[in-house]
Structure 1
């Protein structure tokens, strides 16, 4: 299996450990989405070579007045930040980008810290998450230009999916549902149409999925109940499988949709419209 096709893991239990197939590589992006538990005292994200810790990220909540983010490496030096982007009870997206010189760490789409390699990254072969956290998704992808640049998240939102879709590709959308939304539309487009149109319709209290080809909409798939709540934060992950899309909402599998347009590599645009304020997009 090619590295960029290592399949993502949805809703794993914590503690969570997985081998990294083929090891790390320059340009590899590790994406972790989840929610910090309301009573969290700490959680950690680790990269290992055997029993050697190559990277140890810790979020600590020792008391309400002293929330700490600790980036450390065993047998190396320790870096600490006393402001954490991981708030108790809140959804988050953590990303670790592997480069030749360092790990570049971002949270919710914003750069957070950088850590130079003390253990050769090519020898890293295992990933682990532990502590008071729920996981929605863990994904490994070779994907430059994945993250929407700061200031580009206004709705309507449109971005290029570099290289098109492929089996194992995950698109992540995080945002806040507006208090009085009408509809939200998430579309995966190609040059001549829409391969997958995903539309929560609050006016009808249903979610509609469809495809637009040759100037004609196909038969719509409609389902209840509505997995989105007005005024609430939400995290949507769209997984491109071999035969269908799988849509996860806040970590729960909500919908599937069989591929009607099968030339996945030609699907190269993500389009988002309607009643959502975006905070993070990975396409």
Structure 2
């Protein structure tokens, strides 16, 4: 969370078929380009994903995909489209398959890049350029489910398979409506809500609570209000054995204690209220 750029990190165990890499951050206002590279060592770039921006025509731009092997770049595959807006938050998702990398931007399929080098050789991820980096994450998809998200309607509900064990994270990106009154993020089970996280824009507080046995618990309302009407956001909820930790735009803002016996009961993530959703991952 909130990593400095240039960013470089080793990938433990290397890439596998079905793995998803998620990179979230913001494109800086003066950006001309940035790179997300999947590398083999420090020299070979197995996948080069490179958005570029034109100051002559600010709304125009393109993305270059390429591979560098033995010190030499291959042929560029370019897409004349700007998936990420200058000055705005973004979510990049790379799905590894046997045939190619399937790349989505802000929850929508953007491009596909056929392998030129074996993905099993990838052992490092690097991010450089005019970008602020909030999150880099890896996980494997659940078998027989769609690999990449489509358009997200609100209220949004998603099934959680296997419960919410320690180490589980939820990544939610969107934009708060200009006239928003309230937004709710809920981890639910069949008889209630294990964790309810709700920015209230009239009172300018974030409410945390749980709903059990037909009644609400005691609200927690202290702490900062990191959301603004009309602004984009990135919420990450990380679950440990005894608490939920909430990060907003890469910064930890709230914690909430959890019941020890709710880990396998939670089966639904819900997002409701005055919000537009662009990306959800768990």
TM-score, normalising length: structure 1: 0.90
Cα deviation for residue 58 of structure 1 reads 0.7
Cα deviation for residue 135 of structure 1 reads 0.8
- Coordinate RMSD, CA, aligned: 1.8
Q: Deviations over 1:46-78 (max 9, x none)?
A: 111123211111111243325221111114332
Hey, what's the Cα distance between the residues in 2 that align with 1:53 and 1:154?
A: 37
Equivalent of 1:58, from 50, 54, 57? 50
Hey, what's the Cα distance between the residues in 2 that align with 1:69 and 1:198?
A: 36
Aligned to 2:66: 72
What are the equivalent positions in structure 2 for 1:96-115 lying under 5 Å apart? 96-115=94-113
* CA gap 1:243/1:206 in 2 versus in 1, 3 angstroms: same
Hey, what's the Cα distance between the residues in 2 that align with 1:146 and 1:217?
A: 35
Hey, what's the Cα distance between the residues in 1 that align with 2:147 and 2:177?
A: 23
Aligned to 2:206: 207
Unpaired segments of 5 or more residues in structure 1? 1-9
Aligned to 1:155: 154
Would you say 1:22 and 2:21 are equivalent positions?
no
Would you say 1:241 and 2:240 are equivalent positions?
yes
| SS of equivalent to 1:122 | helix
Paired residues in the alignment total 273
* CA gap 1:243/1:64 in 2 versus in 1, 3 angstroms: farther
Cα deviation for residue 261 of structure 1 reads 4.8
Cα deviation for residue 174 of structure 1 reads 1.6
What are the equivalent positions in structure 2 for 1:156-195 lying under 5 Å apart? 156-195=155-194
Aligned to 1:5: none
8 Å Cα contact 1:34-1:93 kept in structure 2: yes
Cα deviation for residue 148 of structure 1 reads 7.2
Cα deviation for residue 146 of structure 1 reads 7.6
Cα deviation for residue 262 of structure 1 reads 4.0
Would you say 1:120 and 2:118 are equivalent positions?
yes
Aligned to 1:44: 35
Hey, what's the Cα distance between the residues in 2 that align with 1:150 and 1:86?
A: 17
Q: Which moved more, 1:17-26 or 1:235-244?
A: 235-244
Cα deviation for residue 214 of structure 1 reads 2.4
Unpaired segments of 5 or more residues in structure 2? none
Hey, what's the Cα distance between the residues in 1 that align with 2:146 and 2:165?
A: 14
TM-score, normalising length: structure 2: 0.90
8 Å Cα contact 1:34-1:134 kept in structure 2: yes
Hey, what's the Cα distance between the residues in 2 that align with 1:146 and 1:172?
A: 17
Would you say 1:132 and 2:126 are equivalent positions?
no
Hey, what's the Cα distance between the residues in 2 that align with 1:244 and 1:98?
A: 32
8 Å Cα contact 2:204-2:225 kept in structure 1: yes
